[in-house]
Amino acid sequence: MNRTVYAIDGREKGTLELDDSVFGLPVNEDVIWYAINNELANRRLGTASTKDRGEVHGSNAKPYKQKGTGRARRGDKKSPINVGGGTMFGPKLRDFSYSIPKKAKRLAMKTILSLKIQSDNLKIVEDFSIESGKTKDLAGILRSFGKNERTVIILKDDDGRVKRAGANIPFLSFLSWNRLRAHDLFYGRRVLLMESAAKNLNGFYRGEEEAE
């Protein structure tokens, strides 16, 4: 398919051919769901932890004798039913991360890119950099493509100056073409894909399919 390439001022500059096997796939909601949930699970720290009765500080002695008092039998003061005692069935340190098949992850990225193309929320923009590193220069480019909304810019490389310029824009996030994240890409209301990044994605995913 051929898609319009825009200049940074919003004017049409030319066209670029996109590979249908990357940008023209039918939407697969299941694989998108799996990819996004995998990323969210891998972000979880799992640092919540409580002390059980064997870990809290306190005496191991019984508060009173077992029989003859008329009261319920008691163990030590660290029992969960006592104030300051251990926590019963509380959370412990754990690792929430898991992996999904590489093919599923690649399919999710291609499906999301195809979805953005179909919904006309993805625009290909000529390669640019912000030499000044100033936020106002990048904000001017974003205004050329519509109102302020959740925006993702897919970079052709790890351009520190562009990232520096966008650090103060709360609705903006950056992705490198070879390190896409399903969550950010899917929930971006507007995706600006640099021209070189689009060419790289064409070759990257096509090359993987040919290798298989």
- pLDDT value for 180: 92
- The helix/strand/coil state of 194 is strand
CB-based burial label for 108 (10 Å; 0-12, 13-18, 19+): buried
Angle at CA 127, nearest 5°, toward 116 and 189? 25
Are residues 58 and 84 in contact, defined by beta-carbon separation less than 8 angstroms? yes
Kindly tell me if the per-residue pLDDT of 154 is higher than 60. Answer: yes
- pLDDT value for 211: 47
- pLDDT value for 10: 87
Are residues 76 and 60 in contact, defined by beta-carbon separation less than 8 angstroms? yes
- The span from the CA of 79 to the CA of 121, in Å, is 58
- pLDDT value for 59: 86
- pLDDT value for 112: 95
Strands 190-194 and 2-6: unpaired
194: its two tokens: 């640099």
26: its two tokens: 């039918």
- pLDDT value for 207: 56
The number of C-alpha atoms within 13 Å of 9 and in the hemisphere containing its C-beta is 2
The fraction of the chain above a pLDDT of 70, given in percent, is: 97
| Domains in the chain: boundaries | 2-28+102-211
- pLDDT value for 202: 87
Residue-wise pLDDT tens digits, 52-96: 999 999 888 888 899 999 999 888 889 998 888 999 999 999 999
- pLDDT value for 205: 80
- pLDDT value for 209: 53
- The span from the CA of 122 to the CA of 54, in Å, is 56
Kindly tell me if the per-residue pLDDT of 48 is higher than 90. Answer: yes
Second-level CATH architecture of 2-28+102-211: 3-Layer(aba) Sandwich (3.40)
Residue-wise pLDDT tens digits, 87-102: 999 999 999 999 999 9
The pTM of the whole model exceeds 0.85: no
Residue-wise pLDDT tens digits, 164-212: 999 999 999 999 998 999 999 999 999 999 999 999 998 888 755 544 5
